[in-house]
Structure 1
Amino acid sequence: MEILRTPAERFDAIPDYPFAENWFEVDLGDGLTARQHYLDEGAKDAPPVLLFHGEPSWSFLYRKMIPILVDAGFRVLAPDLIGFGKSDKPDDQSFYTYARHVDWLKQWRNAIEPRPAALFCQDWGGLLGLRMVAHDPDLFTCVVASNTFLPVGGKPSEAFAAWRHFAKTSPEFAIGPLLDRATATPRTAEEIAAYDAPFPTEAYKAGARAFPQLVPAEDGMDGVEDNKEAWKTLSAYDKPFLTLFGEDDPVTKGAEKHLIERVAGAAGQPHTTLSTCGHFCQEDRPVELAQGVIDTAHAAGFLA
C-alpha cells in the first residue's frame, strides 16, 4: 500500500478559501503515519467548534460558514479526514475501516483541541462525530447535526443502496460533478474543480470509494454492534442537540426523526428542515447552519 499526497499545486486556484494550512501527524496503525490537514481560524483561546465533513468532500465545504462562526467568537477547527482534501490518502480501499477513522479523528482532536467543544457534523462527519460524542460526552458542549445518522443495521434505503453501488462500481468516480448534483443550488465550474482537486487520479479516491461501503446499514456489518453500544450513551446526552436537515436530500431525509426522538438533548430544540437544501447543506444554506451553531452554543451557555 502507498500513502499518497496530493500535489500542493492542485490547490492553487481554490476559490474563496483564504485559510492558512495546519498539519498533524496521524498514527495510522501497522507502522504507518499520514499527514492530516486542518483549518484553525479565530482566537486560540476562544470557545472551540469542530466542523466535521463527510464523503467525498473536504474542509472547502465549510468555507462559507467559517467566517460567520469566527465573527461570532468561535475558534473554528475543520479537519480534512484521512483520504480526503489536503490530507494524505492511503491507496488501498481495504485499509479504511470505520473504527480506524474514529481513532484517527480522535488522535487529531485530542492533540489539537482537547477542551470541551461544540460540534457541527454532516454525512460521515456525523457517523464519526456522534460516535465520539457517545464515547466522551463531556468533551462536547452542544451538537448540531445535519444530513447524517448513526446506523445500527437493518435494511438500507433504495437511495443509499444506489449510492453505495455507484461508489463501488463506477469506472470514473467524478467527485466535483457528484457534489454539484447533490446540492439544491448550482456550483460554479471553479467550485466543482475545487472538489476534484484532492484527487488527481483514481488511485487517490480509495477512501472516497470505501466510505459508502463502511456504513453499517445492514445487519452483521462491522460497526453495527459498536453503534448500538454508542447509542446507549448518545441517547442520554442531555446538552443542546439540534438537527438541521435539507429537505432535498434523498439519502438522509427522515433520519433526523431518530435523533430527535432518541437523544435527550434534542427535546425542545428548534429543529428545522431547510428548504432548497440538498445533501451538501453547507453549500446551500451556510448562513442558516452557522446561525444554528451559534444559537445552540448560546443555549448551552458556551458562547458569550
Structure 2
Amino acid sequence: MKSLRTPDDRFTALPDYPFAPNYAQVPDTEGGQLRLHYVDEGPDFANPVLMLHGEPSWSYLYRHMIPIFAKAGHRALAPDLIGFGKSDKPTERSDYTYQRHVMWMNDWLAQMDLQNITLVCQDWGGLIGLRLVALNPSRFARIVVANTALPTGDHPMGEAFLGWRAYSQDVEHFNAGRIVHGGTTSKLTEAEIAAYNAPYPDASYQAGARQLPMLVPISPDNPASEPNRQAWATLMGLNIPILTLFGADDRIMAGVERVFQKLLPGTQGQDHAVLPGAGHFLQEDVGPELAQRTLDFIAKG
C-alpha cells in the first residue's frame, strides 16, 4: 500500500499543542506497515482515557482536554487515525474502508495492551471506537459518547449529514480547518485553522479525509451495516457505564443521544447532557467542561 508521511516541519509551533509524538506500526492489511501517531501524556501506570477523533480532525482536537486528564492523574491517549494528523496517509481512496479503520485501531489497541479504558469518542471516533468496545469489551471501563453514532443504514441519516456528505465530495478545495471552524460555535483563530490543515501539504495527502464521509453506512446493504448491527447487539448486552454528552448546536447529530439512551443499558442513571454553546466539534467549544464531566463520570466508579 503506497502512503505519504506529512513532513514534521508542518507541525512546528502549533498553538496549544506541545505534546511529544509517539509512534506505532500497524499492518496495512496488504503485507506492509503504516506508522500511526498518538499522544501519550500522564503516568504510564495510570488508567487510560482514550480520546478518538473523527473527520476531518486529528488529535489536535483534544489539545485542551489532554492536560486536564493528565493533571488529574490519568494516562491521556489521543491517536491519529490512519490518513489523519501525523499518521501515515495511504494515497488511494480505495485503500480506506470502514473495516480497515477498525482493524488499524484494533491492532494499535492490542499493541498498547490498554485496560480499564475510559473511551471518549466523537464523530468517526465513535463509529470506530464503539466497534472496538464490541470487539474488546473487557478492556473498557466506561464510554463517553459525544456527537457520534453507530449507523447501520437501516434508518435515514438526515438531510444535514447528506448535505455534508455531498459537500465533502463536491468542494474543489477540501479545507479541513475551515470545516472544523464551521462545525463550532465559538469559532477558531486563523492559527488553529492552519493547525487543522497542517497534515495536508497538498490534495494528495487528503484521500482519507475525502473518503471517510463515503464510508458511513447509509443503506442496509452497506459492507459495514452487518458488522455494526453485530456491534449493537454486543453493546446492548453489556453493562459498561455510558454517558452521552452532545452539543446543542450540532445539527448533524441532533437527537442521536436518545438512541443510545434508549438501547444501551449502561446509559441508565447517568448524568447525560446536551451542552449549550457547543457545536459538532464540542471539544473546541466546551473542551474543559467535557473533560470535567468525564472526570466526574470516572469518579462515580
Which TM-score band (shorter chain)?
A: over 0.9
Q: Contact (CA 8 Å) 1:149, 1:255: kept in 2 or not? A: yes
Corresponding residue for residue 226 of structure 2: 225
Q: Contact (CA 8 Å) 1:241, 1:296: kept in 2 or not? A: no
Rounded to whole Å, the distance in 1 between the matches of 2:194 and 2:219 is 34
Q: Please, what TM-score do these two structures have when normalized by structure 1?
A: 0.97
Q: Please tell me whether residue 275 in structure 1 is matched to residue 276 in structure 2.
A: yes
Q: Please tell me whether residue 286 in structure 1 is matched to residue 268 in structure 2.
A: no
Structure 1 window deviating more from structure 2 (114-123 vs 274-283): it is 114-123
How far 1:113 sits from its partner (Å)?
Answer: 3.6
Structure 2, unmatched stretches of 5+, are none
How far 1:139 sits from its partner (Å)?
Answer: 0.9
Corresponding residue for residue 187 of structure 1: 188
Q: Deviations over 1:127-154 (max 9, x none)?
A: 0111111122111000001000101113
- Give me the identity figure in percent: 49
- Correspondences of 1:135-284 after superposition (within 5 Å): 135-153=135-153, 154-284=155-285
Equivalent AA in structure 1 for residue 262 of structure 2 = E
How far 1:281 sits from its partner (Å)?
Answer: 0.6
Rounded to whole Å, the distance in 1 between the matches of 2:129 and 2:293 is 17
Rounded to whole Å, the distance in 1 between the matches of 2:58 and 2:231 is 25
Q: Secondary structure at the match of 2:161?
A: helix
Structure 1, unmatched stretches of 5+, are none
Corresponding residue for residue 64 of structure 1: 64
Rounded to whole Å, the distance in 1 between the matches of 2:240 and 2:229 is 20
Q: Please tell me whether residue 4 in structure 1 is matched to residue 4 in structure 2.
A: yes
Q: Deviations over 1:96-150 (max 9, x none)?
A: 0111000100111111243231100000000011111112211100000100010
Structure 1 window deviating more from structure 2 (210-219 vs 81-90): it is 210-219
Q: Contact (CA 8 Å) 2:48, 2:114: kept in 1 or not? A: no
Rounded to whole Å, the distance in 2 between the matches of 1:222 and 1:239 is 27
Rounded to whole Å, the distance in 1 between the matches of 2:263 and 2:157 is 20
Q: Deviations over 1:21-64 (max 9, x none)?
A: 10001101112211111000000001111000000100000000
Q: Secondary structure at the match of 1:162?
A: helix
How far 1:289 sits from its partner (Å)?
Answer: 0.7
Return structure 1 stretches of 4+ with deviation > 2 angstroms. none
How far 1:224 sits from its partner (Å)?
Answer: 0.6
Q: Contact (CA 8 Å) 1:240, 1:299: kept in 2 or not? A: no
Equivalent AA in structure 2 for residue 83 of structure 1 = G
Q: Contact (CA 8 Å) 1:52, 1:78: kept in 2 or not? A: yes
Q: Please, what TM-score do these two structures have when normalized by structure 2?
A: 0.98
Root mean square deviation of aligned Cα: 1.0
How far 1:166 sits from its partner (Å)?
Answer: 1.2
Q: Contact (CA 8 Å) 2:152, 2:220: kept in 1 or not? A: yes
Corresponding residue for residue 124 of structure 1: 124
Rounded to whole Å, the distance in 2 between the matches of 1:11 and 1:248 is 30
Equivalent AA in structure 2 for residue 189 of structure 1 = E
Q: Contact (CA 8 Å) 1:43, 1:75: kept in 2 or not? A: yes
Corresponding residue for residue 34 of structure 1: 34
Equivalent AA in structure 2 for residue 25 of structure 1 = Q
Rounded to whole Å, the distance in 2 between the matches of 1:13 and 1:168 is 31
Q: Secondary structure at the match of 1:29?
A: coil
Q: Deviations over 1:56-83 (max 9, x none)?
A: 1000000000111111110011100000
Rounded to whole Å, the distance in 2 between the matches of 1:250 and 1:183 is 11
Rounded to whole Å, the distance in 2 between the matches of 1:29 and 1:91 is 15
How far 1:169 sits from its partner (Å)?
Answer: 2.0
Rounded to whole Å, the distance in 1 between the matches of 2:120 and 2:246 is 12
Q: Secondary structure at the match of 1:285?
A: helix
Aligned pairs, how many?
300
Equivalent AA in structure 1 for residue 252 of structure 2 = V
